[in-house]
Each structure stands twice: as structure tokens, then as C-alpha cells.
Amino acid sequence: MISCADPALAERCQAIAERERQEGWASYAALDAEMTWLLDLPAGGDLRARLAAEIRRGALDDNAQVESWLWRHVCLRLRENYPEFMIDISLIPGLDNLIYKMERDV
């Protein structure tokens, strides 16, 4: 479930989340592809290990796109584990861009 203080935004995001679920857009593969593009990394290998290493050495501090990716990655895992988990999407940074990207891509 998705909760948000703005009912219209919540409804819109719920619809996107549903579409995302049906079309498999927000898969780990899609998120990995996005991160590969964001960080301009060569494809393949353990992307998450490289991302973790970059974060640890401070190369990505305050990078809003990376933070947004982390939120969506964690939320994806949460939705897998707990379909009923209340995700407050208003917390996810860069949501407007995310909606735009999702609408464009799906």
C-alpha cells in the first residue's frame, strides 16, 4: 500500500505502482540498469557492491538520484516481503522526476 498526505498524488502513485507491478518495470534489473546509467558504470559485475563501495568512499554524498534509487530499491524489497507495508511515498526524494520517468517509460 502507498500512503501520502496528498490524496491525488497518492492515487496517481498507486496507479503507477500497480502498472509498475503488472508490467514489471520496477524490477531489480530495471533498477540496476538505471544505476548503471546514473553512475556511468560498465555493465555487468556486482553493481550493488560497486555502488556500496562508492557510497562508502563518499563519492555519492548528497546525490539525490542515488538516494531516490536507494529508496525505490528498498521499497521494492519491502513490497516483496510485506505487500501490506505502508510506504510513505512522500518521503521518497525526486518523486516528481520518478513519476515523469515512469510515465515516459511505461
Residue 85's SS3 state is coil
Instruction: Choose between 14 and 90: whose C-beta lies nearer to another protein.
Output: 90
**Cβ atoms within 10 A of the Cβ of 13, count?**
23
Please tell me the count of residues contacting another protein according to CB under 8 A: 29
Nearest to 102 by CA among 9, 28, 13, 6: 13
Residue 14 lies near another protein (rule: CB under 8 A): no
C-beta of 43: minimal distance to another protein in Å?
Answer: 17
Report, in Å, the least distance between residue 104 CB and another protein. 25
For another protein, what does the binding mask look like between residues 35 and 54, x meaning CB under 8 A? -----------x-xxxxxx-
Q: Does 73 help bind another protein (rule: CB under 8 A)?
A: yes
Under 8 Å between Cβ of 73 and 55: no
The 8-class DSSP code of residue 41 comes to P
By CB under 8 A, residue 55 contacts another protein: yes
Contact call for residue 2 and another protein (CB under 8 A): no
Contact 78, 85 (CB under 8 A): yes
